[in-house]
């Protein structure tokens, strides 16, 4: 029987923060926002270490890392709901500067005596911010600036303990600070690129208010991950699913740096790859990097599983399950000393949040990712995901630090399910060959026009419709290819790329003339949100 006088066990959520970095950390408490990790990333971009934590984090573990400041994220809930996530009110007695963003502002203001109610009309998208006090948080920002809003609730009554700092047309308290407590709140989102001066605002909080040193760099992340991987793996063996894309390549290089010959990479040719992708992977990793690489040709198995399937989520589900089976068989055949105990994957934060696996568990599911959730149980391995808290551009920076080639580090992303999610409708060998040829021409022209590094992702999509055309004085009824080209910094948001008309014309002309079965090319001009980057 437990002793009732015995102190309860405290789970230290920050046990992985090295002692050398305690006293220099700005944690972000995640109330369920899809942008919570983006806030961490913006803080890291400024040169300050940031980590994610639950909103109900134990204050003892929070005190133990001696935070320089604390940021409260946004979230989808309303603070006046019974089930709304909350934090310990004693947080505001720590004497540490706190910044509340959107929901984080609302929950903090409510705890400190303000009223929060549903707004008469919600604000979504860009809004004009009128700054009335630029003494600290908003220092150096023009008195009128654009910000990104996404809220249905807002602070309605502000007690005398608060000072208003800014307003919009429909939000009188768009930014506030407390007179006695070092608390600041903003109703808008400074962390997204749609708030042009958001970086300056966060910088004011970090350096003007919190007095943080700007001394955290990607090399610190690399050293920390090498240490963690070695501690986790010990003398065991790791198997890594290598696709040849940026994410898995950086994971492979990171693991090779940490554990050397204890790593084996498996490349599964699922028949859904870009043209000559398998040859490129073998030349790069087996010949250049001397990694222990095993290649498995499973084209027939994957295509048989996709026969007759048109639903996007079902495609992803079947590909994921088939990948598990193929990978398990390949792992069982490894001729290493003992069976591998760990599986390494290149999961990134956008994968996690789109799959509804955010830190607080309150994020919405947008689409299935075959490398997020479930694989450890299915495969019998313990999982290693060293990039799970990073965004794509941070992974590229890490790749550069690891010494990977520029051409590899700056490759455009390629989805785990491959061309299956770029073929709308049923996936067949014939449709795959057609799309591969169109995609190769597209990328050749993008590179030739010096647009590859100017865009974040460019690819072709095969649509499930046919259109009427004329070729050689004859009527045709053939396939339609859609071109998708986007610009993005972090892939959480993206805008369609304004490719020059002559480049688009050359792409269309080559695809229609060189790819048999295509007579029309269209250009996708959708942004994310509301669309996703991939079509499925």
What is the phi/psi pair of residue 465, to 5°? Answer: -130, 160
Which of the residues 191, 385, 394, 536 is marked catalytic? 191
Picking from 71, 79, 172, 169, the residue whose alpha carbon sits closest to that of residue 125 is 169
Active site residue 277: no
- 300: its two tokens: 């027939």
Residue located via tokens 């990793």: 285
Catalytic residue (one of 102, 171, 212, 322): 102
Helix or strand holding residue 125 (H, E):
strand 115-131
- Show the tokens assigned to 6: 């015995």
373-405 core/surface letters (b: 16 or more CB in 10 A; e: else): bebeebbebebbbbbbbbbbebbbbbbebbebe
- Dist CA 57 CA 11 (whole Å): 9
What contacts 24+ positions apart, CB below 8 Å, involve 313-317? 313/367, 313/368, 315/417, 315/420, 315/421, 315/427, 315/536, 316/367, 316/368, 316/369, 316/370, 316/417, 316/421, 316/536, 317/368
- Assigned token pair, 137: 């948080």
* Listed residue (271, 240, 268, 296) closest to 428, CA to CA: 271
**Under a CB-based contact definition with an 8 Å cutoff, are residues 20 and 50 in contact?**
no
- Do the Cβ atoms of 479 and 496 come closer than 8 Å? no
CA distance 329 to 268: 11
265 is an active site residue: no
Q: Which of 189, 197, 369, 370 is catalytic?
A: 189
- The phi, psi pair for 173, rounded to 5°, reads -125, 70
Q: Are 535 and 421 in contact (CB under 8 A)?
A: yes
Other Cβ atoms closer than 10 A to 152 = 12
Going along 288-420, which residue ranges are E strands?
A: 293-297, 342-344, 382-384
* Alpha carbons within 13 A on the beta-carbon side of 182: 18
> Would you call 40 a catalytic residue per the annotation?
no
Helix (H, G, I), strand (E, B) or coil at 411: coil
Question: Does residue 530 have a cis peptide bond before it, meaning omega lies within 30 degrees of 0?
Answer: yes
Biggest CA pair distance of the chain:
92
Q: Strands (DSSP E) along 488-515, which ranges?
A: 495-496
| Sign of the CA dihedral with 75 first, then 80, 81, and 82 last | positive
Which residues form the catalytic set? 102, 189, 191
């Amino acid at each position: 029987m437990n002793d009732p006088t015995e102190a309860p066990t405290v789970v230290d959520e920050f046990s992985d923060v090295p002692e050398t970095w305690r006293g220099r950390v700005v944690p972000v408490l995640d109330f369920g926002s899809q942008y919570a990790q983006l806030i961490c990333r913006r803080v890291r971009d400024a040169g300050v270490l940031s980590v994610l934590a639950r909103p109900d984090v134990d204050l003892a573990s929070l005190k133990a890392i001696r935070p320089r400041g604390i940021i409260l994220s946004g979230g989808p809930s309303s603070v006046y709901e019974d089930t709304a996530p909350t934090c310990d009110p004693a947080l505001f007695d720590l004497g540490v500067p706190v910044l509340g963003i959107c929901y984080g502002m609302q929950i903090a203001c409510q705890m400190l005596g303000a009223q929060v109610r549903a707004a008469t009309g919600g604000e979504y998208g860009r809004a004009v911010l009128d700054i009335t006090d630029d003494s600290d948080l908003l220092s150096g920002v023009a008195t009128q600036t654009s910000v990104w809003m996404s809220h249905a609730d807002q602070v309605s009554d502000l007690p005398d303990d608060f000072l208003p700092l800014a307003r919009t047309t429909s939000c009188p308290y768009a930014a506030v600070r407390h007179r006695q407590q070092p608390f600041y709140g903003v109703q808008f989102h400074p962390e997204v690129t749609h708030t042009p001066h958001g970086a300056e605002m966060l910088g004011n909080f970090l350096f003007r208010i919190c007095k943080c040193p700007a001394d955290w760099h990607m090399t610190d992340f690399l050293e920390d991950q090498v240490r963690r991987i070695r501690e986790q793996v010990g003398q065991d063996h790791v198997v890594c699913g290598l696709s040849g894309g940026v994410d898995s390549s950086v994971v492979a290089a990171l693991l090779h740096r940490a554990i050397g010959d204890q790593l084996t990479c498996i490349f599964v040719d699922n028949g859904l790859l870009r043209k000559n992708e398998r040859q490129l992977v073998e030349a790069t990793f087996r010949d250049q990097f001397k990694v222990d690489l095993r290649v498995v040709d499973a084209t027939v198995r994957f295509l048989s599983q996709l026969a007759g399937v048109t639903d996007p989520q079902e495609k992803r589900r079947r590909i994921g399950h088939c990948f598990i089976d193929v990978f398990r068989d390949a792992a069982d055949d490894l001729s290493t000393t003992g069976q591998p105990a760990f599986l390494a994957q290149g999961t990134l934060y956008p994968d996690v949040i789109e799959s509804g696996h955010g830190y607080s568990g309150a994020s919405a599911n947008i689409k299935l990712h075959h490398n997020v959730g479930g694989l450890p149980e299915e495969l019998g391995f313990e999982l290693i995901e060293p990039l799970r808290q990073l965004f794509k551009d941070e992974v590229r920076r890490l790749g550069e630090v690891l010494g990977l080639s520029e051409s590899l580090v700056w490759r455009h992303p390629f989805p785990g399910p491959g061309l299956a999610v770029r073929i709308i409708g049923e996936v067949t060998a014939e449709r795959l060959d057609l799309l591969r040829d169109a995609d190769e021409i597209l990328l050749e022209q993008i590179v030739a026009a010096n647009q590859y590094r100017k865009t974040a992702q460019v690819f072709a999509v095969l649509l499930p419709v046919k259109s009427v055309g004329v070729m050689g004085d004859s009527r045709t009824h053939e396939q339609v290819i859609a071109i998708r080209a986007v610009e993005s910094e972090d892939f959480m948001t993206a805008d369609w790329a304004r490719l020059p008309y002559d480049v688009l014309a050359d792409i269309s002309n080559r695809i229609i003339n060189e790819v048999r079965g295509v007579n029309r090319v269209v250009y996708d001009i959708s942004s994310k949100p509301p669309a996703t980057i991939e079509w499925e």
